[in-house]
Structure 1
Amino acid sequence: MALFKKNPFGHILFLKKWLIRIMGLLTHQRYKGFNRLEIEGSEIIRSLPDKNVLFVSNHQTYFADVVAMFHVFNASLSGREDSIKNVGYLWNPKLNIYYVAASETMGKSLLTKILAYAGSISIQRTWRADGQDVQRQVKMSDITNIGTALDDGWVITFPQGTTTPWKPLRKGTAHIIKKFKPVVVPVVIDGFRRSFDKKGLFIKKKGILQSMVVKKPLEIDYDNESVEAIIEKLEYAIEQHPSFLKVIPETELMAYEQSNKQRQWRPNKT
Structure 2
Amino acid sequence: MSLFKKNPFGHYLFLKKIIISIFGIISYRRYNGFNKLNIEGSEILKNLPDNKVLFISNHQTYFADVAAMYHVFFATLNGRDNSLKRWTYLLKPKLNLYYIAALETMKKGLLPKIFAYAGSISIERTWRAAGKEVNRQVKMSDISNIKKALDDGWVITFPQGTTKPFNPVRRGTAHLIKTYQPIVIPIVIDGFRRSFDKKGLMIKKRGILQSMVIKPPLEIDYDKEDANDILKKIEFAIEQHPSFLKVISVEEYAEQERALNKKREFWSSDED
TM-score by length of 1: 0.92
Q: 2:23 aligns to what SS in structure 1? A: helix
Cα separation, 1, equivalents of 2:116 and 2:249: 38
| 1:100-115 map, 5 Å | 100-115=100-115
Q: Once the two structures are superposed, what CA deviation does each residue of 1:5-44 show, in whole Å capped at 9, x if it has no partner? A: 0000000000000100001000000011121100001110
For 2:122, the equivalent position in structure 1 comes to 122
| 1:10-21 map, 5 Å | 10-21=10-21
Give the CA deviation at 1:251.
4.2
For 2:221, the equivalent position in structure 1 comes to 221
Tell which deviates more after alignment, 136-145 or 217-226: 217-226
After TM superposition, the runs of 4+ consecutive aligned structure 1 residues lying more than 6 A away are none
237, 246, 249: which one aligns with 2:247: 249
| 1:186-205 map, 5 Å | 186-205=186-205
| 1:166-205 map, 5 Å | 166-205=166-205
Q: 2:3 aligns to what SS in structure 1? A: helix
Distance 1:15 1:209, change over 3 A: same
- Amino acid aligned to 2:64: A
Q: Once the two structures are superposed, what CA deviation does each residue of 1:84-115 show, in whole Å capped at 9, x if it has no partner? A: 11000011110000000000100111100000
Aligned length: 255
Extract unaligned runs of 5+ from structure 2: 258-272
- Amino acid aligned to 2:74: N
Query: Does residue 1:28 correspond to 2:33, yes or no?
Result: no
Give the CA deviation at 1:2.
1.3
Distance 1:199 1:239, change over 3 A: same
Q: Once the two structures are superposed, what CA deviation does each residue of 1:218-256 show, in whole Å capped at 9, x if it has no partner? A: 1111232111110000100000001111xx324459x79
For 2:146, the equivalent position in structure 1 comes to 146
TM-score by length of 2: 0.91
Give the CA deviation at 1:128.
0.5
Aligned Cα RMSD in Å?
1.7
For 1:208, the equivalent position in structure 2 comes to 208
Q: Once the two structures are superposed, what CA deviation does each residue of 1:49-94 show, in whole Å capped at 9, x if it has no partner? A: 1000000000000000000000000000111010011000011110
Cα separation, 2, equivalents of 1:215 and 1:171: 21
**Are the aligned partners of 1:99 and 1:157 in contact in 2 as well (CA < 8 Å)?**
yes
Distance 1:251 1:142, change over 3 A: farther
**Are the aligned partners of 1:63 and 1:201 in contact in 2 as well (CA < 8 Å)?**
yes
**Are the aligned partners of 1:51 and 1:151 in contact in 2 as well (CA < 8 Å)?**
yes
Cα separation, 2, equivalents of 1:226 and 1:79: 38
